Amino acid sequence: MNSIVTTAQTGSRNATKAYDAGNAKSVLQVKGLEVTYYTDLGRAKALDDVSFNLGAGEKLGMVGESGSGKSTMALAMMRMIKPPGRIEGGSVTIDGVDLMALDDDGMRKARLDKIAYIPQGAMNSLNPVMRIGAQMVDAVRSHMPRESGSAIKDRCMHALRSVDLDPSVFRMYAHELSGGMKQRVCIAIGILLEPKVIIADEPTSALDVVTQRQVMETIDRVQDQINAAVILIGHDMGLMAQFVDKVAVMYAGRLVEVSSVRDMFTAPNHPYARALISSLPNLDNKGVFQGIPGLAPSLLRLPGGCAFHPRCSFAMDKCSTVRPEPQILANGRLITCHLFDEETRQ
């Protein structure tokens, strides 16, 4: 636990201290990741200087309003951003290898081997006219062309068992499976090569609540087996609360807070994180929901200073003019907000 605490850009003394205090060796280091979409209407900076670390076996929940950049972050880490988008800076280092520095062939090998991505709606992208087993075998063979057919099949069967699916699924077609089973097949494909990092983008959307839980438990279990770092992207804060170690909150392409799940739910620091948490129903405020005033800004016309300032009830003068930089607080949290400038200056 406790290793998502760094940002290369802060330069703050606290940043180094908090980084060193992380006791899980970080297997993933994302530094200064930047993505811009060049649209007909103008430049949209969808990822702005995103930095964080994640240790083996850690689970990070990535939350934020629609359009805040969560999927862009996943795609950028996989180097799968397509035009009009462009990765304009940053590094994504897994076990000492910077994915951004690999050539195309090296990156193709790294996908599934070092980093696996289970995209939004993955279960609907299974090939309907190929048996599940054939799709799994293809995935392994493209990385291990010299492996024997029986070794590849054993690997696929092992992955199916890991996600609690019957071996008979190997010979089935996608239409013969329930939504939850299809999602588990996607997880099985994701872990075929036992990657160090798994990113699952809304893995439980479009599933009923019981199946959602089963899918999350499956992710939990396979993570334990292969000790991967997992990034879960989603909107369901309740599900996040039960399954992740850390929560990262994104707003307009920036990470505004990264905290342990307990800290985030009991005492969020960033005003946007506070608003997000207080908009959740709980037993004390039954029937009373506090929305977040205003709308998420268009990336084409971001407000000056802090992008959240027009919606922030704590905004000060400088929030509309000076862009806050990510800081690490003494308690190890990452925060991008002027309210904490004094604390990090000491």
Q: Which residues bind ligand ATP (CB under 6 A)?
A: 37, 39, 44, 46, 64, 66-72, 84-85, 299
Which one, of 132, 114, 238, 235, lies nearest residue 181 by Cα?
132
Query: For ligand ATP, which is the closer residue by CB, 16 or 120?
Result: 120
Query: For ligand ATP, which is the closer residue by CB, 62 or 181?
Result: 62
Rounded least distance, CB 117 to ligand ATP, Å: 13
Rounded least distance, CB 298 to ligand ATP, Å: 7
What would you measure as the largest C-alpha separation in the chain, in angstroms? 67
Burial 64-74 (b: 16+ CB within 10 A, else e): bbebbbbbbbb
Rounded least distance, CB 252 to ligand ATP, Å: 8
Is the distance from CB of 162 to CB of 191 less than 8 angstroms? yes
Rounded least distance, CB 231 to ligand ATP, Å: 12
Rounded least distance, CB 109 to ligand ATP, Å: 25
Determine the 3-state secondary structure of 146 from DSSP: coil
Determine the 3-state secondary structure of 45 from DSSP: strand
DSSP structure class, residue 41 = T
β-strand 26-39 against 85-94: which pairing, if any?
Answer: antiparallel
Query: For ligand ATP, which is the closer residue by CB, 23 or 66?
Result: 66
Is the distance from CB of 198 to CB of 116 less than 8 angstroms? yes
**How far is residue 248's CA from residue 19's CA, in Å, rounded to a whole number?**
16
What backbone torsions phi and psi does residue 27 show, to the nearest 5 degrees? Answer: -95, -25
Rounded least distance, CB 87 to ligand ATP, Å: 13
> What are the strands of the beta sheet with 85-94, ordered from one edge?
42-55, 26-39, 85-94, 97-98
Query: For ligand ATP, which is the closer residue by CB, 85 or 268?
Result: 85
Query: For ligand ATP, which is the closer residue by CB, 50 or 222?
Result: 50
Query: For ligand ATP, which is the closer residue by CB, 44 or 228?
Result: 44
